[in-house]
Structure 1
């Protein structure tokens, strides 16, 4: 029960702040990824990192105070499977970016070009 001079219990207040930090983190991440100006991107990235640090500290304090129930353990196999999928996606993305930087046509566009050339010949 909250003391008379406090409007909500500490646990509820902590959950509210934690939720806001999670929301702000998502918004900063979106802003950083959508920023065209390197200076603005850097500023949002710094804000994101500070917010992530605050979120982590609050989470740890809540966990220590038994205010936060962690989720059930995940199977290591499932984590490894997802990690492999994300790494594969990252590799493909990096290859695509390199091809684009070098002016090479990505593989996914090449069959289209061949098909278009064949249609023009007929």
Structure 2
């Protein structure tokens, strides 16, 4: 399809960067589809697609970084990360309390919500 003299239609680095950017966009689209899905099986499908695409994106990023095709962002201070995590957990807890209050008021009688274990992120290789 392309000439055999190692010339492609665009430099490999540009092609990989384009693919990486498309994977980021795809993850956003899958995440939106997941959050808007009403059917549990469709929601699970988009959750699986999101996770698979995140793994591929992470693999491609590492490959590009190892080959000096993508500069790594500056390292974040642990205290800043901890602060963001704490704020996200507080927001999540407030949302869960709000939902439980509204469920109780609507006749759901405050059935416990599914809570994700805080330790679940410890086994995720992409979690910092």
State the Cα RMSD in Å: 1.7
Q: Does 1:45 align with 2:47?
A: yes
| Secondary structure of the structure 2 residue equivalent to 1:102 | helix
Q: Structure 2 stretches of 5 or more lacking a match?
A: 107-128
Count of equivalent residues = 103
| Structure (1 or 2) with the greater helix fraction | 1
2:69 is the alignment partner of 1:67? yes
| Alpha-carbon separation, structure 2, partners of 1:10 and 1:50 | 23
Structure-2 separation of matches of 1:7 and 1:31: 33
Displacement after TM superposition at 1:102 (Å): 2.1
TM-score by length of 1: 0.77
More deviation in 34-43 or 22-31?
Answer: 34-43
Q: What CA distance in whole angstroms lies between the structure 1 residues aligned with 2:53 and 2:60?
A: 10
Q: Secondary structure at the match of 1:97?
A: helix
TM-score, normalising length from structure 2?
0.74
Give the corresponding residue for 1:91. Answer: 93
Structure with max Cα Rg = 1
Distance 1:22 1:42 in 2: 19
Distance 2:42 2:64 in 1: 33
Structure 1 unaligned blocks of 5 or more: 105-122
